[in-house]
Amino acid sequence: MEILIVDDDESLLRSLKRAVRLLGHSVRAAPSGQEACAQAAERCPDLAMVDLIMPGIDGIETIARLHRLCPSCRFVILTGTPQEAAGRTLVEVRQKPIGLADLRELLGASHADRPAAGGDDVVPPSP
Amino acid sequence: MPTIPTDLFNSEEAFHQLVRLAPIGICVTDRARRFVLVNPAYCRVYGYGEEELLGREFTLVLPEEDRALAAQLHDDFLEGRTDETPGEWRLRRKDGTLRTILVDAARLVSPSGARFKLTTVQDITEQKKLQSERLAREREGLIASVAAIAGHDLNNTLSTVQLSIDFIEHGLNNRPDLAVLQAAVSDIKQVLERARALTGRLQAIALPTEHRRVEVDPISECRRSLIGFADRVVFENGMDRPHTILVDPWRFADAVVNLLTNATEATEAAGRRDAIILRVRHAAPLPVSVGGRSDAAIAVEVIDRGVGIDPETIQRMFEPGFSTKQLNAAQRVRGFGMISVRLFVEEAGGTVQVHSVLGEGTRIALILPARETRAEGALVASSTVG
């Protein structure tokens, strides 16, 4: 699976890249929403993990733009402040801190539950 | 005295009425410090009757501990040794209640050449109360913002540590790629360092400011704040006479670092490589306030050639009562710096000046009350690095 990670925290970005690679996926990283869109324009990821609070465009705006570029991409918001996402998006929200086991479960689920492409909802609401 | 034609001032009695009915407290004292005139408003402020005051020494209306200083100021002013008036002052009324008053003065000379002091007083207790309530509310907003930042940054730190440790554990149980394990260890160290700085900031906010204020040398505190900005910031010492400021050193460093960080980001956003200037210089003295007896002021300035700040944002940053709840999540987490700076400066009795031109650059000056360092005073730089 091709993963794109978007987070303005450089140390965390590196750690996430390492972990995702360890789980057997190919991964690209972007430190901002703008950079993420540039990378997605070159090649669409299968899954994008996006931080919510970033300078420049925030996570929700980033996902909206990425979805336009890559309609069949699955999105997950990875954030330390899930309450900021409440009511603003139907995208799945996962709370930091996240460990290797959580990541494995998150990425493993992707293989089984890939939704059909199309429609404005990026992914069904998380349970 | 020139007046427009009216019968109001036809008689001398009219001027007596002026003083009698003025809604501001007025008194006149002689060189022996005795009341020779008190108007009804003055009597109301202090809670005494006119007959209790006339002919008596003015210090009787002041608390015991203030009398010596007040007498000294009175004599100095009357004799022309100083033009300084107390400004804000605290008084205890006859009924024992504490009020805050605003005092001003002028010198009178009678036809025989006798000198008198004319003093006006206004009760500003309510205004001061509103002001401190506003500061308390803003402080609450600031604490909420700090909590948001702390949550955000600590979460990232914990995430990095957790992932890195899981990674190392996995490596230890399987085929360890030492170079990659090394990288994970290095990441842990880096984020822990950042977390340490954050806890320092939290502690600075948590404790009541008044208890943490000490006299510090602004020059050495500024130099200390330059660590980490070494190649991008130039320091200019514009002081020809050493001064000290009474501040919480942690919050002062925090304010300077905030300004330098904003200036750095603004310069990078403008695509320029100009150095940022951090300058300390003398400034015009601030109006005197309660408890403070500063005779001088300094300015701590940060000047950059960055993108500039638009006027609306500047206004919002300095709106009295501007609540951080009005910021969106990203602004709260990232942009609360200026509010923190403003609160720090206000609590220290100073003001912030912002001058910015979009596309060209920004100059932000923190004006702080200061005292000239006396030769015999030992000046020890505080240790903000714990």
Tell me the domains of chain A and their CATH numbers: 2-107 (3.40.50.2300)
pLDDT tens digits along B249-267? 878 988 898 889 888 888 8
- For residue B204, the model assigns a pLDDT of 64
Least-confidence region, from B2-6, B50-54, B59-63, B370-374: B2-6
Closest-CA residue of chain B to A11: B187
Looking at chain B, the whole-number percentage of residues with pLDDT higher than 90 is 34
- For residue B44, the model assigns a pLDDT of 94
Q: Is the pLDDT of residue A38 over 60?
A: yes
Looking at chain B, the whole-number percentage of residues with pLDDT higher than 70 is 84
- For residue B205, the model assigns a pLDDT of 65
More confident residue, B143 or B244: B244
**Chain A positions in Cβ-Cβ contact with residue B198 (cut-off 8 Å):** none
Cβ separation A15–B167 shorter than 8 A = yes
B273 CB-near residues (< 8 Å, 6+ apart): B267
A24–B contact, CB cutoff 8 A: no
**A66 contacts A75 by C-beta, under 8 angstroms:** yes
Please report which confidence band the pLDDT of residue B3 belongs to, taking 50, 70 and 90 as the band edges. low
Of residues B152, B160, B334, nearest to A15 (C-beta): B160
B330–A contact, CB cutoff 8 A: yes
Report the candidate in B215, B218, B225, B222 with the shortest Cα–Cα distance to residue B247.
B215
- For residue A69, the model assigns a pLDDT of 94
Q: Is the pLDDT of residue A117 over 60?
A: no
**Chain B positions in Cβ-Cβ contact with residue A12 (cut-off 8 Å):** 156, 159-160, 163, 191
- For residue B32, the model assigns a pLDDT of 95
**A positions 51-70 inside 8 Å of B (CB):** 52-55, 58
- For residue A116, the model assigns a pLDDT of 36
More confident residue, B126 or B378: B126
Please report which confidence band the pLDDT of residue A118 belongs to, taking 50, 70 and 90 as the band edges. very low
B4–A contact, CB cutoff 8 A: no
Report the candidate in B165, B146, B181, B167 with the shortest Cα–Cα distance to residue B344.
B146
Q: How far apart are CA B146 and CA B152, in angstroms?
A: 10
More confident residue, A68 or B86: A68
A29–B contact, CB cutoff 8 A: no
**Rounded mean pLDDT, B267-272:** 84
A26–B contact, CB cutoff 8 A: no
More confident residue, B200 or B26: B26
Tokens linked to B77: 């002013």
ipTM of this predicted structure: 0.77
Closest-CA residue of chain A to B189: A11
Q: How far apart are CA A17 and CA B82, in angstroms?
A: 70
**B positions 124-153 inside 8 Å of A (CB):** 148, 151-152
Which residue blocks in chain B are alpha helix, DSSP H?
12-21, 40-46, 50-53, 64-78, 125-173, 178-206, 218-225, 249-269, 311-318, 329-334, 337-347
Cβ separation A96–B334 shorter than 8 A = no
Cβ separation A84–B329 shorter than 8 A = yes
**Chain A positions in Cβ-Cβ contact with residue B158 (cut-off 8 Å):** 96-97
Q: How far apart are CA B337 and CA B316, in angstroms?
A: 13
Cβ separation A96–B329 shorter than 8 A = no
pLDDT tens digits along B34-70? 999 999 999 999 999 999 999 999 998 887 888 898 8
Q: Give the Å distances, CA to CA, from B356 to A12, B270, B282, B303, B316.
A: 35, 14, 21, 10, 14
Look-up: residue for tokens 């001027």?
Answer: B15
Cβ separation B162–A12 shorter than 8 A = no
Q: Is the pLDDT of residue A126 over 50?
A: no
Q: What does pTM read for this prediction?
A: 0.55
Mean pLDDT of chain B: 82
Q: How far apart are CA B98 and CA B81, in angstroms?
A: 30
pLDDT tens digits along B136-185? 787 777 777 677 777 777 888 889 999 999 989 988 888 878 888 898 99
- For residue A109, the model assigns a pLDDT of 63
